Structure 1
């Protein structure tokens, strides 16, 4: 394979339909939402479990939420957290907070109370918006009591369902709803919606819009600071990849969780940029997705490899009507070749692999939707995105001729830094010829056609079905057990999830515990996506020459070559 050092590589043909050097005009995200609402107020933005929500409805609710925030003293620069699954009110809360000048902080519904508390404290989140679901509201209340969080706004699930479904949930399905605590710092979502018309703060594309937590290269979660310019640019860049007839209805399958940067950009913001519709599901369920594809006829389906594997394995897969789909986009983790081949053969729909990271607002590159796709490749960079390969051992130098290097990125979607972590941000960037490049931690090649492939990675993060698991966090919890002396967590290959965490430990002197006991103890104290497949007890763990636990040596020892 030819290994080049950067992209663009003249005279490399650009495979995407929009020119690589296209100009991009960033805007505040809520300004784009306002423009689309004015252009097509009655168009459907979200279809949710049989109920449709128009642009005008959700924009009006966002305005009401902005007014409610400002009336309670939450405004410019304040942080508003979203601890939500996919529900239509997520859209109102997201854009409404931005209208008020606030900064959105996305929190995964999979977080434990401890994880959520840590990130609430780090971000300085004042208000947390959540759902009256048993898996969410009790955790949010616990965080309210153990952190500096000031208030909860609780969305009612029944309020977003079709009338009869909502009535049935309120009367017959009460066990599926969490009881609202009677306390002044917990209010219903509707109490935060105000019909007042306050003066909204001025907004600039350079304003901070979102704190999206990620592990970076250190494994310690940090808030990537994404501006309106970063997010709107990436949404516009992704829309530029679409080669299909723009007069056709733009309908996207919304099964990815919106709190994840992949969905936040590719499903929500890109759809609003385009004026399209999201077929929204509260969570991924293979059967529900297949039924929604047949019923709602989406044009595109962004997902992670585990989703496509689950669809292939489902008994309704063969009976699903795939004719509306133009493209399926896979990201978040490497796409196994056999899965891609099986999916495409059965559906006739291209399954296109792309690549991105939180620090780049979601997406860096993609194979073309309609054109040359290379198996195992992450494609060419998005418009206005530059790529450079750095020396794997010395980020101040370029990769040696003919060798892979650490992938570095420049573009309008790249973050400015980490929240309150100037030193961490500095280590994530490299300077070359007076330019600032984001280091990805992934080792890549660029071939003669300008297509990239990830061949290794520097980061220790484990990719579990599109989510990132930070080994150091799981190890820290495991070391709280009195029987555990040392611990290392690595990712092991998994046919379904891509990777699963596995823990390797040594026992404290005179301690007695089995691996199964430790596994059960650990998995009740961490997020669902972090749960380990196994705890292996060993006499010793590999160490470096200075006595530091050596994760790299453990991987080499226990993983297949």
Structure 2
């Protein structure tokens, strides 16, 4: 039977069988869901970290123990901000849910941020407690935050405690230099041991939480594009997005599924899709602290996970490296690509190695984060970022006048409404106001269109749009053309100032191993694939292209490179 749908929601007719757009959304706070899952799943494995496993029962006990200690030993109260500065480890999972359990707010910190960026995030949020590891990759910055007066207390976990027996011994023998002796730190008087807090066995007192109003996570966005803003995500926002993903997943996040968590939990995509959704559904999460090909392939062979949330650069590596064989990747049933646009060449190359459904999704921090996604159980339209999730309303508005909706099929700025949309930016009413249209739709700054079947397609970011001789030039269209050359491994296109045209595109290119190509040769290849306005003014070859912590190719780093190195050398 065909579904009847009103014109504003054309995507409903394209929904996979068994999924309804107009459906009830669960907004039970995530920590309540997690603890219920722990009680239900008992001794089943919740976390696998490099072979060290944590049962659901043990996870629940540790969450409650840390929650009680944060209350009684550190005086953390409802509404207080607690910063987390660490890669993926069991310590992160325990800390995250413990903070939410007592009504405090998680402030995620990217360990790769500069000290000035971290100082702004911690001071702006008002976090006085920070939880980190004693690794040299994280502790020195935490130590300096104490020295600057931004943080009063450091809770420090001993990294080797997360490792299985033999690996713990080997790490202590051969990588002892990676560990900081915190007793010698100037911040020592402010340091409290994570293990010490857990072993106190404190029972947390109950806290009354209003899911719609109380902030669960204050997620900072824009750290590399200006002053970071704290998006306030309520308990209901996060739970709603989990419920939407659960309904869209048709059971993929339930046991016996195993979900790979190689993307960092401090990033909103991984926090929701790699941690919250599977753990609250009773599924196992297999973790790595960061992506390294050999470690990832070892994890695949040892645990045989079937769900892989990922980013295009990671998919590209799996598709093009011979060491990542089809046999090793065979357990993957579903790969969910997000964080950046998925090049068709990467999709095709991955499809030659894996029979998994490759579903491209889309989201943003301010939407907790998922907005649209391709179907996870059946094939979807290639090139699309899928359909709006249940209870999510999307529209496209004029690039010059966001109050004016554009007709179906025409390009505009994507705007949305839904229960996953943030409360606003912390202590920034002006930014909050500008983030929404007059009728309450969240502006995304992403350009795209919706087709007659309700599938959403993205063209580019508004801030990445190149205005060339008065015309809109989209970097992604140029990148897609460059990727068609068989010698190209990665490419990223930026706009630079041009005296004649106002702006002009510049392409950075990394070639595949053993390949050679000249600027002239690539331009000859592109001349029938791009217009004169789209043709890059310059093509710059690099051995590596800069990436963000989550693995996205970074245009911001390339803009800085161009100003400092290329333009300065003219």
TM-score (norm. length: structure 1): 0.81
| SS of structure 2 residue aligned to 1:364 | strand
Q: 1:403 to 1:173 in 2, by over 3 A?
A: closer
Q: 1:490 to 1:90 in 2, by over 3 A?
A: farther
Alignment of 1:395-406 (within 5 A): 395-400=402-407, 403-406=410-413
Deviates more, 1:172-181 or 1:214-223: 214-223
Name stretches of at least 5 consecutive residues in structure 1 with no aligned partner.
464-468, 472-487, 498-518, 542-561
Q: Which residue of 1 aligns with 2:384?
A: 377
Question: Could you give the per-residue CA deviations for residues 319-366 of structure 1, whole angstroms, max 9, x where no partner exists?
Answer: 543332211010000001011111011111122111000000011001
Equivalent residue for 2:96, pick from 70, 94, 108 = 94
| SS of structure 1 residue aligned to 2:248 | coil
Deviation at 1:538, TM superposition (A): 4.1
Question: Could you give the per-residue CA deviations for residues 496-522 of structure 1, whole angstroms, max 9, x where no partner exists?
Answer: 99xxxxxxxxxxxxxxxxxxxxx9xxx
In the aligned structure 2, how far is the partner of 1:186 from the partner of 1:345?
A: 51
Q: Which residue of 2 aligns with 1:30?
A: 31
Equivalent residue for 1:191, pick from 160, 178, 196 = 196
Conserved? CA contact 1:155–1:188, under 8 Å: yes
Q: 1:117 to 1:491 in 2, by over 3 A?
A: farther
Conserved? CA contact 2:69–2:204, under 8 Å: no
Conserved? CA contact 1:51–1:162, under 8 Å: yes
Deviation at 1:229, TM superposition (A): 0.7
| SS of structure 2 residue aligned to 1:191 | helix
Deviation at 1:457, TM superposition (A): 2.2
Q: Which residue of 2 aligns with 1:393?
A: 400
Equivalent residue for 1:456, pick from 454, 460, 463 = 460
Question: Could you give the per-residue CA deviations for residues 357-384 of structure 1, whole angstroms, max 9, x where no partner exists?
Answer: 0000011001112334222211100111
Q: 1:437 to 1:328 in 2, by over 3 A?
A: same
Q: Which residue of 2 aligns with 1:554?
A: none
In the aligned structure 2, how far is the partner of 1:401 from the partner of 1:319?
A: 40
Alignment of 1:121-136 (within 5 A): 121-136=123-138
Q: Which residue of 1 aligns with 2:369?
A: 362
Question: Could you give the per-residue CA deviations for residues 169-203 of structure 1, whole angstroms, max 9, x where no partner exists?
Answer: 23443112122144210122123323122422122
Q: 1:452 to 1:108 in 2, by over 3 A?
A: same
Q: 1:245 to 1:301 in 2, by over 3 A?
A: closer
Alignment of 1:314-333 (within 5 A): 314-318=321-325, 320-333=327-340
Q: Which residue of 2 aligns with 1:299?
A: 306
| SS of structure 2 residue aligned to 1:430 | coil
Q: 1:161 to 1:538 in 2, by over 3 A?
A: closer
Cα RMSD between the aligned structures? 3.2
Q: Which residue of 2 aligns with 1:309?
A: 316
Question: Could you give the per-residue CA deviations for residues 109-157 of structure 1, whole angstroms, max 9, x where no partner exists?
Answer: 1112221111111111111111111111111101211142111111111
| SS of structure 2 residue aligned to 1:406 | strand
Deviation at 1:395, TM superposition (A): 1.1
Q: Which residue of 2 aligns with 1:200?
A: 206
Conserved? CA contact 2:12–2:454, under 8 Å: no
In the aligned structure 1, how far is the partner of 2:456 from the partner of 2:363?
A: 12
In the aligned structure 2, how far is the partner of 1:538 from the partner of 1:169?
A: 45
Q: Which residue of 2 aligns with 1:480?
A: none
Q: Which residue of 2 aligns with 1:503?
A: none
In the aligned structure 1, how far is the partner of 2:550 from the partner of 2:371?
A: 28
In the aligned structure 1, how far is the partner of 2:318 from the partner of 2:267?
A: 20
| SS of structure 2 residue aligned to 1:154 | strand
Equivalent residue for 1:109, pick from 108, 111, 120 = 111
| SS of structure 2 residue aligned to 1:192 | helix
Conserved? CA contact 1:126–1:149, under 8 Å: yes
Conserved? CA contact 2:255–2:282, under 8 Å: no
Q: Which residue of 1 aligns with 2:489?
A: none
Deviates more, 1:386-395 or 1:10-19: 10-19
- 2:443 equivalent to 1:442: no
Deviation at 1:391, TM superposition (A): 1.3
In the aligned structure 2, how far is the partner of 1:19 from the partner of 1:492?
A: 43
Deviation at 1:402, TM superposition (A): 5.0
Question: Could you give the per-residue CA deviations for residues 370-408 of structure 1, whole angstroms, max 9, x where no partner exists?
Answer: 334222211100111111111111112212565211111
In the aligned structure 2, how far is the partner of 1:345 from the partner of 1:204?
A: 48
Conserved? CA contact 2:253–2:283, under 8 Å: no
Larger RCO, structures 1/2 (Cα 8 Å, 6+ apart): 1
| SS of structure 1 residue aligned to 2:442 | strand
Alignment of 1:75-224 (within 5 A): 75-182=77-184, 183-193=188-198, 194-206=200-212, 207-215=214-222, 219-224=226-231
TM-score (norm. length: structure 2): 0.79
Deviation at 1:103, TM superposition (A): 0.2
Deviation at 1:245, TM superposition (A): 7.0
In the aligned structure 2, how far is the partner of 1:437 from the partner of 1:145?
A: 42
Name stretches of at least 5 consecutive residues in structure 2 with no aligned partner.
1-5, 466-474, 477-491, 495-502, 513-541
Conserved? CA contact 2:232–2:425, under 8 Å: yes
Q: 1:394 to 1:216 in 2, by over 3 A?
A: farther
- 2:64 equivalent to 1:59: no
Q: 1:264 to 1:402 in 2, by over 3 A?
A: closer
Alignment of 1:476-515 (within 5 A): none
- 2:70 equivalent to 1:69: yes
